């Protein structure tokens, strides 16, 4: 059955509940009434404010609304819109003689909602696959969850017990979050998604690939004065709640249940717990491991800094045997748990889940393990090693780029640095410490290589698709850090590296092979869900018995979102998108170059191009370009003096040109997920200008220009500074070029940097460049804007101390030697590493 037919049927079935063929907005009487209701529930003010608005004389009548306050609108949503996703129910869990409320949805209904959602119908995967890069099948690929070894191995185990079943990998994540700035009010949401949905959908919260499964109790049990008893009680409460929520998986996972997917097919499905996504404290709480130890393997706390100690996952069988000792008395139970390295948990939630291995299921977390831990540590170490003043001085003098945030006050004074800010800092961190002076004549090469190792690991770990070769690079990057980390000990910054999150980096290659690339299970996605499903939900309450109100608010919001899809489908005449064909992601990005339809400046004199835009040799460069293009396919192209002679005799039939100030590259949805177009990159070439009384310096970005056809050979590229982008007046083209010449629509005046050296710098791995000069003057050319591949970022060679007279606006002219920054984005990193 085709996806179009199924989605048509799903929407028809939804519409049948509304029993109105003429009005696509029913049960709302008109488009205005529907839009007001949608605004009120998705974007509007508080319920009281909305009621106050409608209570103004004449507002409801002028808009033709059938509801006059929030309560009347809620009745329409509650009783006349079809049920959306599963409803919440409230139950009590008793731990240590005290009862606690847990709000949760039926997990089987949640799974059926995701699995049967017509929006996901054409994207679902139902079986494991092996993907390779070569015909001999020697280099295997790992990307989406169904390409990992866990699904293969579990499918074999399931087939031995119950052949022919379809696995639904269950991915659970929990994370306590603050919902108020004051009074320390928090929520403890628990999210669910399934591995059958491609990661490209799951990692975008607005696509609805996750479901809020439960709100767990947030109590700290402060009435228990003994800290050890309090910690045990909190852990047992956590597991008791999760056991209640996940209990249906015990039978459904083993025996299977019939589920109908969005393509209309009925399959016997086995929802099996696959992985847990959470920060280190959540991982310890889930596994019962003591603080400082690894929640996955048996490496002791004192050995976590080693990069050579063998890794062995904890044996789930031995742990389950220890948990079974609970029947033998408390003392025997405590001793049995201590012998296998876990805390005495009373019936952890994963104890009875079929085919579950919680120690294997703890997945890497780029957000908290890398950005919010290792990068945070690294910044503190570099500040101590290099000095805050010098680091901030260099940050303030970086040239602008689309991918670079300029920290005009430096980075050492930042407080509560977010993961986004840490990611932005990583884009230039290595470049600003090259040539920096370390105390006591310590070799800076070790420092640079240690930083490079961690940054390379960070970038490699986020590849959307891994192979056996890139996983080897991941190990080599981590080894590079460990081989040079003692420089921080020599500087007196660290005594040891017993950091659990540094040790966790050793597990990345295995976890990627088991569950696919790290963008399958990053807490960054659930962090975004906190805004919609916890913080906004709390703000919609009166802050009394808030969780009951939050769940009701979310149910109404889900109904509105579902009705919005139905209305859009009706208004589009039932048209649906083409079938989807899955393929592995790669390091290229679907993009297209975009220029504005109209020039930024319609008429700029050639003199102003030289003075305001910095295009000093524009006339000569354009004359040479005209001569070269006019000769077409001449077997003996002109160079040097001969070219200059002909160019000198070239006269322009114009004195002014239309100029463009920006070229950008927008995403193309090459994978067919219906993603919105976003700007991936841009290059600016703006003149100096005034904003009020303030003079803004000109901006001439650096870019990578394509010289040949081989996109994998650096010799086919050259770095340039783009001064002007323009078009030639249509009337002048026949006067300058023969009719056989196909002239590009948009041209650019660029100044060249030296070609790439044969190899990058040994310590930093970056390429060193300088301006191309002839007789002490810059070498410039005219190129097609279409040959500009992407922007590049050049970091100055500061020397021992950054010259204080340099500024971010002028450094490209002030400095002579640069490092090409390969960390501005994933694509540049893969090209220049």
Tell whether the model's pLDDT for residue 308 goes beyond 90: no
Instruction: Name beta bridge partners: 105.
Output: 88
Span 684-695, mean pLDDT? 86
What percentage of the chain exceeds 90 in pLDDT?
69
C-beta separation of 828 from 822 below 8 A: yes
Top-confidence residue, 458 or 833: 458
Among candidates 189, 181, 180, which has minimal Cα distance to 218?
A: 189
Tell whether the model's pLDDT for residue 20 goes beyond 70: no
* Least-confidence region, from 628-632, 664-668, 743-747, 797-801: 628-632
Span 486-491, mean pLDDT? 95
pLDDT tens column, 802-827: 999 999 999 999 999 999 999 999 99
Q: What is each CA distance from 557 to 41, 43, 85, in whole angstroms?
A: 6, 10, 10
Q: What is each CA distance from 539 to 181, 413, 546, 757, in whole angstroms?
A: 12, 32, 9, 57
Count the Cβ atoms, other than its own, within 10 Å of residue 207: 17
Q: Confidence class of residue 585 from pLDDT cuts 50, 70 and 90?
A: confident
pLDDT tens column, 315-356: 999 999 999 999 998 899 999 999 999 999 999 999 999 999
Q: Confidence class of residue 251 from pLDDT cuts 50, 70 and 90?
A: very high
Give the pLDDT score at 16: 59
Span 640-648, mean pLDDT? 75
Token reading at 147? 């390409």
Span 55-75, mean pLDDT? 93
Q: What is each CA distance from 11 to 4, 18, 620, in whole angstroms?
A: 11, 11, 64
Angstrom distance (rounded) from CA 486 to CA 374: 16
234 CB contacts (<8 Å, ≥6 apart)?
Answer: 220, 221, 285
Q: Confidence class of residue 387 from pLDDT cuts 50, 70 and 90?
A: very high
Count the Cβ atoms, other than its own, within 10 Å of residue 214: 25
Give the pLDDT score at 526: 81
Among candidates 272, 207, 825, which has minimal Cα distance to 525?
A: 207
Phi and psi at 362, nearest 5°, equal -70, 115
pLDDT tens column, 418-469: 999 999 999 999 999 998 889 888 889 999 999 999 999 999 999 999 999 9
Top-confidence residue, 578 or 99: 99
Question: Can you say how many angstroms the Cα of residue 634 is from the centroid of all Cα atoms in its chain?
Answer: 49
Q: Where are the domains of the chain?
A: 88-288+345-363+521-571, 289-344, 366-515, 591-791
Tell whether the model's pLDDT for residue 226 goes beyond 70: yes
Tell whether the model's pLDDT for residue 637 goes beyond 80: no
Q: Confidence class of residue 588 from pLDDT cuts 50, 70 and 90?
A: low
* Least-confidence region, from 49-53, 190-194, 589-593, 618-622: 589-593
Give the pLDDT score at 709: 77
Angstrom distance (rounded) from CA 13 to CA 259: 17
pLDDT tens column, 699-756: 999 999 999 877 778 889 999 999 999 999 999 999 999 888 889 999 999 999 999 9
Residues 201, 205, 209, 211, Cα dihedral to 10°:
170
Give the pLDDT score at 111: 96
Angstrom distance (rounded) from CA 593 to CA 41: 38
Q: Which run of H or of E encompasses 379?
A: helix 375-386
* Least-confidence region, from 155-159, 221-225, 606-610, 651-655: 221-225
Which residue pairs, CB below 8 angstroms and at least 24 apart, start in 776-780? Answer: 777/617, 778/616, 778/617, 778/751, 778/752, 779/751, 779/752, 780/615, 780/616, 780/617, 780/618, 780/620, 780/621, 780/723, 780/749, 780/750, 780/751, 780/752
Angstrom distance (rounded) from CA 820 to CA 454: 19
Q: Confidence class of residue 581 from pLDDT cuts 50, 70 and 90?
A: low
Angstrom distance (rounded) from CA 721 to CA 613: 12
Give the pLDDT score at 587: 59
Give the pLDDT score at 1: 44
Give the pLDDT score at 313: 95
Among candidates 184, 279, 182, 173, which has minimal Cα distance to 529?
A: 173
pLDDT tens column, 753-778: 999 999 999 999 999 999 999 888 89
Radius of gyration of the chain (CA): 31
Give the pLDDT score at 450: 97
Give the pLDDT score at 576: 55
Omega cis (within 30) before 628: no
Give the pLDDT score at 11: 63
Angstrom distance (rounded) from CA 7 to CA 83: 17
Tell me the whole-structure pTM to 2 decimals.
0.92
Among candidates 669, 665, 667, which has minimal Cα distance to 785?
A: 665
Q: Confidence class of residue 490 from pLDDT cuts 50, 70 and 90?
A: very high
Residue that the structure tokens 């056809």 belong to: 709
Tell whether the model's pLDDT for residue 51 goes beyond 70: yes
Give the pLDDT score at 580: 62
Q: What is the DSSP string of 67-112?
A: --SHHHHHHHHHHHSPP-SPPEEEEEEEETTEEEEEEEE-HHHHHH
Span 384-388, mean pLDDT? 94
């Amino acid at each position: 059955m085709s996806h179009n037919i199924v989605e048509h049927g799903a929407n028809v079935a939804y519409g049948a509940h509304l029993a109105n063929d003429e009005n696509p907005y029913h049960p709302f009487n008109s488009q205005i009434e529907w839009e007001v209701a949608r605004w009120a529930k998705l974007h509007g003010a508080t319920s009281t404010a909305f009621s106050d608005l409608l209570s103004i004389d004449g507002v409801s009548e002028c808009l033709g609304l059938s509801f006059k306050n929030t309560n009347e609108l809620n009745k329409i949503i509650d009783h006349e819109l079809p049920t959306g996703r599963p409803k919440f129910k409230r139950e009590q869990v008793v731990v240590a003689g005290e009862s606690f409320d847990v709000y949760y949805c039926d997990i089987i209904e949640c799974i059926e909602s995701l699995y049967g959602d017509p929006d996901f119908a054409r994207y679902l995967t139902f079986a494991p696959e092996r993907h390779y890069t070569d015909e001999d099948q020697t280099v295997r690929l790992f990307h989406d969850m169904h390409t990992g070894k866990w699904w293969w191995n579990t499918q074999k185990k399931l087939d031995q017990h119950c052949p022919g079943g379809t696995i639904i990998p269950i991915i659970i994540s929990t994370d306590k979050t603050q919902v108020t700035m004051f009074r320390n009010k928090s929520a403890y949401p628990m999210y669910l998604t399934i591995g059958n949905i491609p990661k490209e959908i799951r990692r975008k919260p607005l696509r609805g690939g996750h479901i809020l499964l439960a709100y767990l109790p947030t109590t700290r049990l402060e009435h228990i004065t003994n800290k050890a008893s309090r910690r045990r009680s909190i852990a047992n409460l956590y597991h008791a709640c999760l056991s209640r929520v996940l209990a249906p998986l015990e039978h459904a996972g083993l025996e299977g249940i019939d589920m109908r997917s969005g393509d209309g097919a009925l399959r016997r499905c086995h929802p099996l717990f696959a992985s847990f996504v959470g920060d280190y404290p959540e991982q310890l709480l889930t596994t019962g491991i003591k603080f400082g130890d690894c929640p996955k393997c048996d490496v002791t706390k004192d050995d976590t800094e080693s990069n050579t100690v063998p890794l062995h996952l904890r044996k789930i069988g031995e742990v389950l045997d220890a948990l079974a000792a609970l029947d033998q008395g408390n003392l025997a139970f405590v001793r049995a748990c201590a012998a296998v390295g876990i805390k005495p948990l009373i019936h952890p939630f994963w104890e009875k889940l079929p085919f579950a291995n919680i120690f294997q299921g703890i997945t890497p977390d780029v957000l908290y393990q890398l950005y919010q831990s290792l990068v945070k540590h690294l910044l503190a170490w570099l500040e101590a090693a290099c000095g805050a003043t010098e680091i901030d001085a260099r940050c303030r003098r970086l040239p602008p780029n689309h991918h670079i945030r300029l920290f005009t006050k430096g980075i050492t004074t930042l407080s509560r640095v977010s993961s986004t800010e840490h990611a932005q800092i990583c884009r230039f961190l290595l470049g600003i410490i090259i040539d920096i002076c370390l105390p006591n004549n310590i070799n800076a090469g070790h420092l640079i290589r240690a930083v490079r190792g961690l940054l390379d690991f960070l970038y490699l770990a986020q590849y959307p698709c891994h192979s056996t070769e890139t996983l080897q690079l991941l190990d080599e990057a981590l080894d590079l850090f460990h081989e040079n980390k003692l420089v921080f000990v020599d500087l007196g910054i660290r005594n040891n590296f017993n950091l659990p999150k540094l040790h966790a980096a050793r597990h990345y290659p295995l976890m990627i092979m088991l569950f696919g690339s790290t963008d399958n299970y990053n807490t960054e996605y659930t962090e975004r869900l906190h805004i919609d499903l916890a913080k906004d939900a709390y703000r919609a309450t009166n802050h009394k018995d808030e969780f009951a109100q939050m769940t009701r608010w979310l149910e109404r919001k889900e109904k509105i979102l579902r009705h919005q899809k139905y209305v859009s489908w009706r208004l589009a005449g039932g048209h649906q998108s083409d079938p989807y064909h899955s393929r592995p992601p790669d390091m290229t990005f679907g993009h297209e170059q975009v220029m504005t339809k109209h020039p930024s400046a319609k008429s700029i004199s050639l003199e102003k191009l030289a003075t305001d835009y910095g295009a000093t040799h524009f006339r000569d460069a354009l004359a040479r370009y005209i001569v070269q293009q006019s000769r077409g396919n001449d077997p003996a192209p002109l160079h040097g003096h001969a070219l200059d002679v002909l160019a000198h005799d070239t006269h322009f039939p114009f004195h002014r040109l239309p100029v463009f100030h920006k070229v950008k590259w927008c995403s193309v949805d090459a994978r067919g997920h219906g993603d919105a177009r976003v700007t991936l990159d841009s290059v600016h070439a703006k003149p100096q200008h005034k904003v009020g009384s303030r003079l803004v310096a000109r901006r001439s970005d650096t870019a990578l220009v394509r010289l040949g056809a081989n996109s994998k050979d650096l010799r086919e590229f050259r770095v340039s500074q783009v001064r002007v982008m323009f078009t030639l007046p249509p009337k002048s083209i026949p006067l300058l070029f023969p009719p056989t010449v196909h002239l590009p629509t948009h041209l650019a005046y660029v100044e060249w940097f030296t070609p790439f050296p044969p190899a990058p710098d040994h310590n930093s791995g970056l390429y060193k460049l300088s301006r191309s000069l002839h007789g002490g003057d810059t070498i410039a050319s005219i190129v097609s804007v279409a040959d500009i591949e992407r922007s590049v970022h050049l970091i100055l060679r500061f020397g021992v101390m950054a010259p204080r007279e340099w500024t971010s606006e002028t450094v490209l002219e002030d400095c002579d030697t640069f490092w090409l920054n390969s960390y501005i984005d994933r694509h540049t990193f893969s090209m220049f590493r």
